[in-house]
Structure 1
Amino acid sequence: MRNVTLTEVYSHPIAQKYLQRSGLAHAIAVTCHAYKLAVKYGVNPDLATKAALLHDIGHYEWYTDGEWDYEKYKENDIHAIKGAERAHKLLIRLGENPQSAKEIALAILLHTDSYLPEGSLNQSTLQKVVRLADEMDEEPGGGHHYRKINEVTALKTIQKLDEKIDRLPNSSLKESV
């Protein structure tokens, strides 16, 4: 039994604010990829889809002279840190299991290495699934953040994912630690 559905997360005003800023179409696409990868690799799809949906909610818009500055973003961005914090706070507020909220936040924190020092990390399978799902939807120059999706379509997609997750055996929803 899940404490919080993906639809509840998606519909919250805080999620809506930051999903719109970072690219709703990208968030939805990454969420769909994460579901498929979670099933494939035996990861809790509830945690994977929530982390994927919220993975970019920490984005700050980097502009120079009123124009999006992708190079400035790549050089200065720490969105995964801010996003992990925002996601954790939102999930706890919604009533998510604290351990699940922490796992989701850590997957968001580690979905990109753009701000990390050189070297390799030993990531959990959940963290790898979220990173791979994000990479599957990337476009050159950050174009994936600017694609559009109809909000009705986005909500229906999220609701369908909730239905798929609810139909899975409970063993698929165990903690992914």
Structure 2
Amino acid sequence: MSKVTLETIFKHRVTQKYLQRSGVNHAVSVAYNAFDLAAERGVSVDLAAKAALLHDMGHYEWYRDGKWDYEEYRRHDIHAIKGAERAHKLLIRLGEDRLVAKEVSLAVLLHTDSYLPFDVEGKRTELQKVVAEADTMDEQPGGMHHYKEMSRQEAIKLLRKLDIKIADYLAGDARHPTTG
């Protein structure tokens, strides 16, 4: 595991700003889902959890007549594009390896195809598939998964546990953590 942990990523002010918009509970849940899927499939659990935690940091809110309009949001959605750029900048700023930052940001970019004019299924790497599936596992109709509450303290506690799971998994695994 790299020196950049999920807890370090989560505590950064940029992460705090954007995860508050997209839902801390959802981000943490997707990170746990991604760890499990990655471990099952022989994909880097470190990269999968990082990409999953950051996958929705490109979200923004779309209001019509003072109310959030999910359908209007979906029509104009480019959150994966914005999120990939934000994730890459954040990871580099935190001192993450550049190749790791690139792989994580590509997984953020391709965790959904809602903004693409073509289907990416079958073209994703295994890491990208893991993050996309982990996200789908937590989705709720109308985007309600973005509104489940979780305190900052609870998120930090859960991310510390996941950091330990990642470290333990990698300690027992000879594969290099950047293998995606």
Structure 2 regions of 5+ residues with no counterpart?
A: none
Q: Deviations over 1:8-59 (max 9, x none)?
A: 1011111011111111111011011011111011111110000000000000
* Map of 1:144 onto structure 2: 145
User: Residues 55, 7 of structure 1: CA spacing in aligned structure 2 closer, same or farther, 3 A cutoff?
Assistant: same
Q: Is 1:100 matched with 2:100?
A: yes
* Map of 1:57 onto structure 2: 57
Q: Is 1:113 matched with 2:113?
A: yes
* Map of 1:130 onto structure 2: 131
TM-score by length of 1: 0.96
Please tell me whether the aligned partners of residues 58 and 86 of structure 2 are also in contact (alpha carbons under 8 angstroms).
yes
1:1-177 equivalence runs, <5 A: 1-121=1-121, 122-168=123-169, 169-177=172-180
Question: What amino acid sits opposite 1:41 in the alignment?
Answer: R
List, as ranges, runs of 4+ consecutive aligned residues in structure 1 with deviation greater than 6 Å. none
Question: What amino acid sits opposite 1:135 in the alignment?
Answer: T
Please tell me whether the aligned partners of residues 45 and 173 of structure 1 are also in contact (alpha carbons under 8 angstroms).
no
Please tell me whether the aligned partners of residues 113 and 119 of structure 2 are also in contact (alpha carbons under 8 angstroms).
no
Q: Please, what is the CA RMSD of the aligned residues?
A: 1.2
TM-score by length of 2: 0.94
- Alpha-carbon distance in 2 for matches of 1:32, 1:172: 20
Q: Equivalent residue of 2:91, what SS?
A: helix
Please tell me whether the aligned partners of residues 34 and 130 of structure 1 are also in contact (alpha carbons under 8 angstroms).
yes
Please tell me whether the aligned partners of residues 6 and 162 of structure 1 are also in contact (alpha carbons under 8 angstroms).
yes
Structure 1 regions of 5+ residues with no counterpart?
A: none
Q: Equivalent residue of 1:33, what SS?
A: helix
Please tell me whether the aligned partners of residues 3 and 97 of structure 1 are also in contact (alpha carbons under 8 angstroms).
no
Shift of residue 172 of structure 1?
Answer: 4.4
Question: What amino acid sits opposite 1:148 in the alignment?
Answer: E
- Alpha-carbon distance in 2 for matches of 1:28, 1:94: 19
Question: What amino acid sits opposite 1:74 in the alignment?
Answer: R
In percent, how many aligned pairs have the same letter?
57
Instruction: Report the count of equivalent residues.
Output: 177
